Structure 1
């Protein structure tokens, strides 16, 4: 909702202010399709040249984050803590019974209770790989923590690639606007024998290119890239929570302490309250 409000506000304030100041929209409207074709087409072409197909698809998909916000909501963090609680408790009471859940998470009754988490490959792989390594006696907390940190760094760098690519387009748009403006000046110079009122409109049309490049860059593409990055960073706290709980487990803290470590390391706007989490864990205990 805030994204839509922001877009409407940008158009109303910029063009509304221009019209109220006595500006004529006719020149902008006449030049806009051609300038947009040159600037927008060049920007899209440069984006395709500099990125792989997977990044392009990822960037298009991530643009929805501007309007949808983070994938993981506060209730998902609560569910994740409940899932980890069940898995850790099972690992300590019956390591053999844990294997079927780790080796076949898609058929696991425990993962099945949390379909949104089970559908996220990164979450499932991170949990299962770490618990599997413990069952293989690779249980040095410091080594596992280092492995998890490197893995999370790679995941985050991959997730942020589309926002960085879109940021590069934002940086290029003002220059592409100048390119379009220069072409407009060339066109104007070729008609130097025309009356001043005709030349004035042609120069005005050329300057639309400079305006459009800067406008698209700083009012749309750069904010989109920044919002994508902020949303991805927010979503990444979900995976950091998995790391915190599983590393605490390797330090042989009690199961409840491991979960509380994860809860307290969750950002405040996603963190379930102590009471809410306790109620959820009681339900888990009663159901098992």
Structure 2
């Protein structure tokens, strides 16, 4: 909703002021379809050439998420920390082997199914269970697991930012394609030099619409979209860092309550629950 409202305000102010100052919106509307095909067609073709199929697929999958509110809320992080607490508490009370079945079959686990939003997020479940499995087997120490976690989080970061970077490159290309459309319009105008000034004026105005649209689409539509998706990608990485910090604290000997406090501290302040909120939530889930 905020995205749509933002676009409405941006475009409304731009075109509203133009009309208010006596601009002829009809000139823009008449040139709009042809200029859009030239600019967007050229840009999307170049976009397809510049990116691998996996990036194109990831970008198409990511764009609709911009219209949805972020799933990385305080409530989600409360559930995540409570889940980690439950797992670590069970392991501390009954031994690491007691969580083996939860790790091997998380979808049938009572621990994971207490938190359905997390249980259906395969990235989170896989990240947690992979490292719990290593903790159960005891083949790696905390430093080795930390290095492995960092490598996986870096990979996740790179994958999450590939479509964002692709959108950024698209935004950067749009003004250039707007210039291409304008130059083609000028060429067309120069081929009609014998026409009356009123006709030539209209043709030049249509050509300039191309430059205008290229800049408008880049900086009022596509680049803000890329910025929003970049922020959401950072939120996803922060979730993995929270899991990492909590599990490592547990491996270093801290009790579950203290371990989840380590995890809580790495969250952004806007989504981070307070100590009391987390404590009450954990107690309420018992």
Q: TM-score, normalised by structure 2?
A: 0.96
More deviation, 61-70/124-133? 61-70
Residue equivalent to 2:242: 241
Partner of 1:74: 74
**2:190 equivalent in structure 1:** 189
Equivalence for 1:124: 125
Look up the match of 1:166: 167
Whole-angstrom distance in 1 between the partners of 2:157 and 2:41: 30
Structure 2 Cα separation of the partners of residues 283 and 151 of structure 1: 33
Are the aligned partners of 1:88 and 1:249 in contact in 2 as well (CA < 8 Å)?
yes
Deviates more, 1:177-186 or 1:269-278: 269-278
Q: Is the 8 A contact 1:70 1:235 kept in 2?
A: no
Q: Deviations over 1:72-128 (max 9, x none)?
A: 221110111111111112222232221100011111111111111111111111111
Match in the other structure for 1:136: 137
Q: How does 1:198-237 map to 2 (within 5 A)?
A: 198-237=199-238
User: How far apart are the structure 2 equivalents of 1:270 and 1:76?
Assistant: 9
Superposed CA RMSD: 1.3
Q: Map of 1:37-76 to 2, 5 A cutoff?
A: 37-76=37-76
| Higher alpha-carbon deviation: 7-16 or 130-139 | 130-139
CA distance in 2, matches of 1:281, 1:203: 67
Deviation per residue, 1:189-226 (Å, 9 max, x gap): 11111011111110110111010101100111011001
Q: Deviations over 1:142-195 (max 9, x none)?
A: 111111011001001101111110000000000000111111111111111101
- 2-structure distance, mates of 1:17, 1:213: 19
Tell me which residue corresponds to 1:279. Answer: 280
Alpha-carbon shift at residue 240 of structure 1 (Å): 1.0
Question: Aligned residue for 2:112?
Answer: 111
Partners of 1:132 and 1:28 lie apart in 2 by 61
Distance 1:151 1:177 in 2: 40
Tell me the CA shift for residue 136 of structure 1.
1.7
Kindly report structure 1 stretches of 4+ aligned residues shifted beyond 6 Å.
none
Q: Deviations over 1:245-269 (max 9, x none)?
A: 0111111111111011111222111
Measure the CA separation in 1 of the matches of 2:167 and 2:67: 16
**Counterpart Cα distance in 1 of 2:95 and 2:137:** 15
Q: How far apart in 2 are the matches of 1:3 and 1:37?
A: 24
Partner in structure 1 of residue 251 of structure 2: 250
- Which moved further from structure 2: 95-104 or 217-226? 95-104
Number of residues paired by the alignment?
A: 285
1: CA distance between counterparts of 2:281 and 2:22? 61
